[in-house]
Chain A
């Protein structure tokens, strides 16, 4: 058995090596490309899984990069190994699914190379304990997501969505980079464990700047309010990529960042309140938007945004364990939902749910697994989503303000409502399109079944999962056994309140004909929600202002060498003047 530092490097390097190989193979041998992708992601997943028994609470691997960059260090503790396992195994299943989904597509090399590069970078992001390195991996994942969202690069909508995702996550990246530079300025290196062990050595105002910078970074990456628009637009990507972004890589990074640095920022005034508010507003708003969308993938995207809101909310309320446990449940059932949605979309060649319906007979397996995933999303016992969502709500009830808790409760009810809505629209009723529907391929089924089994069972891991996270949790987090934890959830009053709200949501869908009057009076909110509450308009305004100012600055870029040298000289004079004034 290789030691932990070798495994850490392997779990990054294997997907990356696979990416290079697939790219070298060229697109004339698609079978070989499929096979290479599956083999290398499987090997990466195996390396990540092998880290589980050997996880370490201290830095492993010390590789100096010179004074300005510090050490390349990895910290494979419970939290990091957990996320690395999620990224590689879910990523592996998404790749297996792609074998059927992407069959016959052109430019498979580009597709698989970016997918594997993406998976490896996500593992690097969670394993590294050098803040500058975290930033580098953070930006690589942003670049990969851009390239994959715009994979169909002859479709202007896909290209726009990719650029939108890139720009918004870059805005967040600035927050992270600023945090890294502050850390270097005040600590002398980028070492994260040193920082977490003694964050109070930094001046309080610098710590607050870092805390809120990281919150911006996490919100942009995890598509939280007010940056949530990029994730639904990213639905132009091939569906396995959506599953990858939503469940395995990318959006988990924001939640990871908040959970990792929670011990350092906990004491910053108003930070926890800000995190709770961001999570609560996002969870409720995205749930409303999921209710009115007719695009199957967009509904799932909004549900991801909403569920990420739950995780962020739990972190703000101090429930790190609850948030990470919900992340685990969500990764499993959301990958399941996306991949089964991919099978449906692959079968009917549309994403519009109004053109689906009655698909249950043609694709029985997909129907069963998607209903399992949907019920987990809605928080129905005893699926994994139920336990983790109840833990989140309980943590929020203890540690967060009451209004935010009520937001989350309403969000839970709405989740149940929109889940039933999309399941009914896809699988029940009369078929609305006359075209031939073919069932999912064998590789698709191979990817779906383990995820469905996971959705049914991962809640049994609650106790050992808490034990596994171990020291990565902040102090005062008691780790309980599975039985005690489940009993605690099953007997907590918040559980029954939440279940009642969920039942109310289900009943509302059942009795939707009678509630027509109510629905009619809420139509205004529905219209606002379909326009994404004006956030698209804000995005467009930002873009047009940027373009207008760039246009007016165009005269300064006249391509005349003399003018450019003049600008350099003026810049030099300005810098010298600032230095002279600063020295005085």
Chain B
């Protein structure tokens, strides 16, 4: 094995590969083995967490396409997930569509709704767009709870359990495979998206929109496409929640949800697909870990245990702020630092 201090491509195929280096392929293989073996070793508690992470990864990648790659700030993630979830659930309940068809249609419906909410982005930028999406979130939330004829208001909607080849898919073990497949598919799509003209156009709009339009990127089309692509996956995440829990309530899709997903991509890394996964995992595991700590401290320090539910909210805020101040590029950058260190070892010249 030769020592390298950089990446040198000698063939076009390797230059175009998603994982050109052997080390990358080994890491991916190791991760794949872990993912395949995990459900046979883990109990239902950990499997449930893994499923939540899988769903959150799909949603976080969706949001990252819009916020991290295209630079359009959205506080309406909860609303888009709600649209995906309610359309998936209502299509099955009212029209009797099979669950797979409902999920696919829900993604398309959310993509259309997303581009509609994206229309303000043609006139508004930065904080004005953020405030507009905040208003959209509030309006959708209101519609969920008050448009009783369609959504059933604050009542929960219960859908029949999804079945595939006679197996109930909403058990933690069965859903794990579905969730992982969806998360992997989303990640693969997104990774390839940013190697196409469309994906590059998204990034160009983020970096300098005027320059982008000068080199021939149609801003109108690109931004709407970004909203549509992003909402497609966000809707998928919403629809996945419906068929995992087989029950929809509006509380799952509030502004809080939007904030949690924004926190995922900030902590994980804006404009990074592996970051979306890292962030989704960390932000999903954080409350679970705090709850575990609470149970562990129940006997030794009941006062601390009693304060922990509130501490959870505070810790969430602290994590966001610490990342913003000390590592604005998130976990993805930290992971990159570790990798780079070993990649060029012992010539640790590469910085930044």
Does B associate with A? Answer: no
Please report A residues at the B interface, Cβ cutoff 8 Å.
none
